[in-house]
Amino acid sequence: MDIGNPIDFTGRAVLVTGGTKGIGAAIAGAFLAAGADVLVCGRSEPPELPGSGSRRAHFRAADVRDPAAAAALVDAAAERFGRLDVLVNNAGGSPDADAATMSPRFVEKVVALNLLAPFHLAQAANRIMREQPGGGSIINIGSVSAHTPQPGTAAYTAAKAGLLALTRALALEWAPRVRVNHITAGPVRTGSAASVYGEGGTTAVAGVIPMRRMAEPDDVAHACLYLAGGLAPYVNGADLAVHGGGEAPARFLAVRDGRSGSPGAEPDDRPFSSP
């Protein structure tokens, strides 16, 4: 089968939610560089939109937690470009909170952003993609929290676990016209990473990842190009791990640090091994 250039998206239209900064901006930029027309959304327009060379993404303000706004966003992308080939559900996140004291409103907002919004957006995208030549691709950006919960993330973990299950359910229902896949993203070095992990914390985090570094936004973006492109026409319902191999087990770290006498030491290039 001749697939031509598998990362050539010329003439194809892409919608990236939360695409004005961080991982979303990198995803938008990667699709622009590959020739796609891209629409990004956010609560407000940034000073500079994602771009590649002279090409820039288009912007539409939207609160994707609102089902009507989510549907209108998808319709706007299709109207602007004449079709919609790729939806990347990237918008998400949550501040840490104690599960014992988090308010019902907090839980509802976290679940709305990380699970319900992708569902509503996917429904709207499917209605368009299933009727157009070539169908379409939906990519949900998930988190390692769906597989390995962390303290302070109960609502977020539950929502992201739901997103993974949703991906698999939609992949069953909407194939072969629309493929639905999931990316499990690990810690990513973005502009907000320092506020999450603290000054110097990213170095400590890198020390427990087998690849010895946090992901860069482009690592996630390139995975999106693969899942949406010509190399993955049979990939559907997949969970693609972009987390550098996960994290070393706590028992290994405890033994390693006990032997070295230097917890939190700078990462080196030694491979991980069982104690």
Beta carbons within 10 angstroms of residue 95's beta carbon? 11
- What is the Rg, in whole angstroms, of the alpha carbon atoms belonging to the chain? 19
Examine the residue annotation and report whether 156 is marked as an active-site residue of this protein.
yes
Q: Of these residues, 156, 197, 226, 234, which one is catalytic? A: 156
Q: Phi first, then psi: what are they for 25, rounded to 5°?
A: -65, -40
| CA separation, residue 70 to residues 66, 148, 168, 232, 249 (Å) | 6, 29, 21, 27, 39
Q: State the pairing for strand pair 136-143/86-89.
A: parallel
**Nearest-5° angle of CA 203, CA 204, CA 205?**
90
CA dist 244 and 184 (Å) reads 11
CA dist 66 and 117 (Å) reads 7
**What is the three-class DSSP state of 97?**
coil
Catalytic residue set:
156
